[in-house]
């Protein structure tokens, strides 16, 4: 069984998190999906999507201060962590090795165990500090995947645009997804 952690921060882009959770709930394979939200993620979710965050009981949700969560230790054996959207504050704390909440602690664990960390940064433009933080995480083995949609699939709706990013993330995480493929 693959263990995957979805972390949602307070950066704009809650629709990316909503869509990846929807796709994971339908994914074929043996997955255990856990979810943790930062203190501001719920507020941004409500503001952007006009609804309360809910997983409808499909995934286990952990409090951001629950350091007894299984993914707070390498022995929890989570193989992938996707931070979607990943705020620049969270990115900076991870790059600096600051584990002040469950999200940053879990990212630290994933990196030290040489497992897959995908940070879906959404803010733009980037300043030099943010670029250096992205470099630090990349050098430590993480993947920076900006929420930059593609358009060669000719998306017709906002959901199509969002899913061009979500499908790319799922590909990076080696989770089977039916999506547009270049040259197909």
Q: What are 72-75's contacts with CB under 8 Å, separation 24+? A: 72/102, 72/105, 72/106, 72/109, 73/109, 74/109, 74/112, 74/113
The highest-level CATH class for domain 2-172 is alpha beta
Local confidence pLDDT in tens for the 184 residues of the chain: 899 999 999 999 999 999 999 999 988 888 999 999 999 999 999 999 999 998 888 899 999 999 999 999 999 999 999 999 999 999 999 999 999 999 999 999 999 999 999 999 999 999 999 999 999 999 999 999 999 998 988 999 999 999 999 999 999 999 988 776 677 6
Q: How far is CA 58 from CA 20, 25, 45, 99, in A?
A: 13, 7, 18, 27
* Domain limits, the chain: 2-172
Return the closest-CA partner of residue 59 out of 33, 83, 37, 77. 33
The residues that bridge with 129 in the sheet, in sequence order, are none
């Amino acid at each position: 069984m693959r263990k995957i952690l979805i972390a949602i921060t307070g950066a704009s882009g809650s629709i990316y998190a909503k869509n990846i959770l929807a796709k994971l709930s339908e994914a074929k394979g043996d997955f255990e999906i856990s979810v943790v939200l930062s203190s501001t993620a719920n507020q941004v979710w409500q503001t952007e999507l006009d609804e309360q965050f809910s997983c409808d009981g499909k995934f286990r949700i952990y409090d951001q201060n629950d350091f007894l969560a299984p993914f707070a230790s390498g022995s929890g054996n989570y193989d992938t962590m996707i931070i979607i959207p990943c705020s620049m504050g969270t990115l900076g704390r991870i790059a600096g090795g600051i584990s002040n909440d469950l999200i940053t602690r879990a990212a630290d664990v994933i990196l030290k165990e040489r497992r897959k960390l995908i940070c879906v940064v959404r803010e733009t433009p980037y300043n030099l500090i943010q670029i250096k933080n992205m470099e630090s995480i990349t050098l430590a083995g993480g993947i920076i995947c900006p929420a930059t949609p593609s358009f060669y699939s000719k998306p017709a709706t906002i959901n199509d645009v969002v899913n061009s990013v979500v499908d790319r993330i799922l590909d990076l995480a080696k989770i089977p997804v039916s999506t547009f493929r270049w040259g197909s």
